[in-house]
Amino acid sequence: MSTVSAYAATSASEPLTKTTITRRDPGPHDAVIDIKFCGICHSDIHTAKAEWGQPNYPVVPGHEIAGVVSAIGSDVTKYKVGDRVGVGCFVDSCRECSSCLAGVEQYCKAGMTTTYNGVGRDGQPTYGGYSQAIVVDENYVLRIPDALPLDAAAPLMCAGITLYSPLRHWNARPGKRIAVIGLGGLGHMGVKLGKAMGADVTVLSQSLKKMEDGLRLGAGHYYATSDRDTFRKLRGSFDLILNTVSANLDLGPYLNLLDVDGTLVELGIPEHPMPVPAFALVLMRRSIAGSNIGGIEETQEMLNFCAEHGVRPEIEVIDADYVNDAYERVLASDVRYRFVIDTSTL
Ligand code: NAP
Ligand code: ZN
Ligand code: ZN
């Protein structure tokens, strides 16, 4: 076992504090990863603050991990020491169910092993990427293409794949009218990836504060949802809406923005349930759906796509001791557009 520095939440109300955790010695199929950068996802905050139920404290968050392989187990074939790699939201799954066999491990019937606040096969709690190193089975490690810098690659491991997967599933392509609700970590990746796939992307943000950014990132249109006129003007005008908002929204007015047969995909996971008005669905045969990150194969496809198409998250690299301030800024929608911890400052 080795001991490494980390940042952990110890209760829902206390700030994160510096601590140490232990990592297992690599088993035959494990890669030891020297973590260089880790993105801050809003899910880290939901978990740390117990908004999704009581977590198993201490929680070391972080599932947007980018680093370099520092050691490998005896039977590892996919990676070698020095390889640039990433780890996303899960580090294992049952490998036997129909989802795992179909390469959609994120929908593992037995439940995937989450990168943090989970329990590994060894029965030990999992700790995430706000730490100096992690040990992961090679089958759950991603290769980061050379064209992607490690700091910018980190947010792709969650924010990137969470938007890539539904954009592919619901056929983003030229002519497809897509709205992204919320221009945060996930939302800005929706704009960039949607644009790279040729779709016509509209941002629906609370205000026009970030409009210049949104248009620069690739949106064709930008509207404020605080302006009720937005909902009148845009009624029936989208094929697909991706809701990335971390808080509860009144979904009815947004559903009415869909054309006949349109789909609203819920990506944000707010603390409380959201009522759905039946008329908004029934009258135009609209659907509401959800989507969870992506499988290993699709995550690799997304990384390669980003390398090829020059898609990179907009990041603000921070020292580890800024993490609590970063959380406050994310909660205030004051993030452009992903905080990434430089783990050499741990
Ligand atoms: P984020 O960076 O905080 O972005 C969320 C955005 O939502 C904000 O920037 C803001 O955009 C908007 N927003 C926030 N509060 C709002 C409110 N009260 N009313 C209206 N809009 C509001 O968060 P994130 O990291 O992108 O994550 C977003 C959500 O997705 C979280 O709930 C997270 O847990 C979830 N998530 C889900 C998956 C998945 O697989 N489905 C993966 C990762 C994260 P504007 O300022 O533009 O309005
Ligand atoms: Zn995440
Ligand atoms: Zn499974």
Please provide the DSSP assignment of 108-151 as one string: -TT--EESSSSB-TTSPBP--SSBSEEEEEGGG-EEPPTTS-HH
Per-residue confidence at 176, pLDDT binned at 50, 70, 90? very high
Q: What are phi and psi of 332, to 5 degrees?
A: -90, 15
Q: What are phi and psi of 242, to 5 degrees?
A: -110, 110
Ligand 1 contact, 160 CB (< 6 A): no
Ligand 1 contact, 292 CB (< 6 A): yes
Ligand 1 contact, 245 CB (< 6 A): yes
Give the pLDDT of residue 121.
86
Ligand 2 geometric centre to CA of 63 (Å): 6
Average pLDDT over residues 88-114: 98
Give the pLDDT of residue 285.
98
Beta carbons of 64 and 157 less than 8 angstroms apart: yes
Residues sharing a CB contact under 8 Å with residue 302, sequence separation 6 or more, in sequence order: 156, 160, 161, 164, 165, 294
Atom of ligand 1 nearest to the CA of 293: 40
Give the pLDDT of residue 195.
98
Ligand 1 contact, 268 CB (< 6 A): yes
Average pLDDT over residues 90-100: 98
Ligand 1 contact, 61 CB (< 6 A): no
Atom of ligand 1 nearest to the CA of 41: 25
Average pLDDT over residues 241-266: 98
Percentage with pLDDT > 90 across the chain: 99
- Model-level pTM greater than 0.95? yes
- Rounded Cα distance between 66 and 217, Å, is 23
Report the mean per-residue pLDDT for the chain: 98
Closest residue by CA, ligand 1 atom 11? 182
Ligand 1 contact, 117 CB (< 6 A): no
Probe residue for ligand 1, chosen from 90, 116, 165, 186 as the CB with the greatest number of ligand atoms within 8 Å: 186
Give the pLDDT of residue 298.
98
Give the pLDDT of residue 156.
99
Q: Provide the Cα torsion 224, 201, 62, 319; round to 10°.
A: -70
Q: Could you say which ligand is closest to the alpha carbon of residue 326?
A: 1
Give the pLDDT of residue 272.
96
Q: What is the pLDDT of residues 221-250, one digit of tens each?
A: 999 999 999 999 999 999 999 999 999 999
Average pLDDT over residues 113-141: 97
Give the pLDDT of residue 239.
99
Residues sharing a CB contact under 8 Å with residue 86, sequence separation 6 or more, in sequence order: 65, 66, 67, 141, 142, 143, 144, 153, 154, 156, 157, 303
Per-residue confidence at 38, pLDDT binned at 50, 70, 90? very high
Percentage with pLDDT > 70 across the chain: 100
Whether residue 128 is predicted with pLDDT greater than 90 in this model: the reply is yes
- Rounded Cα distance between 329 and 313, Å, is 18
* Domains of the chain by start residue, with CATH: 2-158+294-345 (3.90.180.10), 160-290 (3.40.50.720)
Beta carbons of 17 and 323 less than 8 angstroms apart: no
Ligand 1 contact, 115 CB (< 6 A): no
Ligand 1 geometric centre to CA of 333 (Å): 8
Give the pLDDT of residue 19.
98
